[in-house]
Amino acid sequence: MTTTDTPAVDVKAHLRTPLFRTLTLGWFLTNFADSVLVLIFAVWVADLTGSPALGGATFAALGIPALASPLLGHLADRLSRRRMLTVTYAFGVVTLVPLYLVHDAGDIWIIYTVTVLYSTVAYVTAACQSGILKDLLPDEALGRANARFQTIDQVCRLTLPFLGAAVYAWADMTPLITASIVAFAGAAVIFGRLRLHETHLSALREGKRLSGATAGFRHLFTARPLGGLTRAMLVAVAITGLLNAAVFAILDGLGIPAVMLGPVTVFQSLAGVAAALLAPRLMDRFGRVRVVAGGITLLGVGMIPLIFPFVPTAMLAMGLVGFAVTPVVIAFVTERQVATPPELQGRTSTASHLVLNFPQVVLTLVGAAVLPFVDYRLLIALTAVICVLAGFTSFRIRPAAATQ
């Protein structure tokens, strides 16, 4: 840290403005639309087909839009991010309508197609949100803003899987689809009425298109300590694709039906809420780099109890994973925002999503392919070991000067 005569920033005051509160409401509606369906898609496919592998492959479909993330980031740095989100959430409404036509296993192609399009909405949100926050808040407030958004995310994941599983088990998918459509429509209205000053590039200022499109990737891997954190995150997130592929096999080993996937994750979400509330203090005390390193290490350790076919140890594992992942995400996103100039926020944000999510998609597909021939516990063990190694290695990354 450095000593400065600059007056201290009143972080709480920035988070109490009507503009930030409106943005928070829009973020809540978006998270509702995401959380109420994202796990049920996999359960739905597994139930229609009777195949855990096909259900697990749904998680891979969620990551396919990462391929388009560089284009989305480029647009987010050129256009109005607020308008881009408004149009995207309206698109989300239209995207979900075909789900009303799904009735049997022959219609799962509709679910996969909608899953890809539905997931695209989240990538557009990621492309725009970082720049909007950077324009709206000082750097000192970004960590707490990200922690608040992560808290909302975890609360949605905590409550909505129960609601989704209950509605799906006792009724059908129709109420869930309708609720998600209404949430997307509400978010579109909110962002359509939001008024804020935005920083984005003019097309006349941009140089070569290729150079502009790849600027986010270059910044992501060359800025310090962001580059080192990105490489550690790349390894840890990618290898968890094997765990995604094995999720229904894990449930089967525990004697838990696929429809209970949402409720089973409650311990992960509870721990995630606690971790999100604690994350700003952890970053203030240890710095963002050490929070990422420690979280990745704990993630690997937390997976180990999943090897044992006992429900209590599985619940312990879910809690440890939730507590580990949330501060990692908050600290990494905050470091990326602080280290990135406003006009590059969209491209750097989407570059990070592509770098982190697409390898995970590939390994999810690999895991789904080998799962019929390999004991799922081997996949868990391999994932745990690699995460621990990535965490230990990232402790050697040196923080940037005068940052926490």
The mean pLDDT value for 258-283 works out to 80
Between the ranges 72-81, 199-208, 214-223, 284-293, where is the mean pLDDT highest?
284-293
Per-residue pLDDT tens for 130-145?
Answer: 888 888 888 888 888 8
> Does residue 9 sit within a domain?
no
Q: Could you tell me what percent of the chain has a pLDDT over 70? A: 90
> How sure is the predictor about 209, in pLDDT bands with cuts at 50, 70 and 90?
very low
Q: Count H helices, E strands: the chain?
A: 17, 0
Domains contained in the chain, number: 1
> Does residue 3 sit within a domain?
no
Domain extent, residue 224, equals: 15-394
Query: Cβ(51)–Cβ(108) under 8 Å?
Result: no
> Could you tell me the CATH number of the domain that includes residue 142?
1.20.1250.20
Per DSSP, the residues of 171-236 read S-SHHHHHHHHHHHHHHHHHHHH---------TTT---HHHHHHHHHHHHHHSTTHHHHHHHHHHH
> Does residue 326 sit within a domain?
yes
> Does residue 399 sit within a domain?
no
pLDDT of residue 259: 64
Using CB atoms within 10 A of its CB, is residue 6 exposed (0-12), middle (13-18) or buried (19+)? exposed
- Angle between helix 81-96 and 174-193 (nearest 10): 160
> Does residue 404 sit within a domain?
no
Distance CA 377, CA 387 (A): 15
> Does residue 268 sit within a domain?
yes
Query: Cβ(196)–Cβ(135) under 8 Å?
Result: yes
Per-residue pLDDT tens for 44-88?
Answer: 888 888 887 787 778 778 778 877 877 888 888 888 888 899 999
Let me know the angle formed at the C-alpha of 35 by 32 and 38, rounded to the nearest 5 degrees.
140
Count the Cβ atoms, other than its own, within 10 Å of residue 301: 16
Q: Which of 253-267, 345-359, 387-401 has the lowest mean pLDDT?
A: 253-267
> Does residue 134 sit within a domain?
yes
> Does residue 269 sit within a domain?
yes
pLDDT of residue 262: 63
pLDDT of residue 5: 44
pLDDT of residue 9: 62
293 pLDDT more than 90: yes
Distance CA 303, CA 295 (A): 12
Per DSSP, the residues of 40-59 read HHHHHHHHHH--HHHHHHHH
Q: Which of 267, 302, 314, 271 lies closest to 384 in space, CA to CA?
A: 302
pLDDT of residue 94: 94
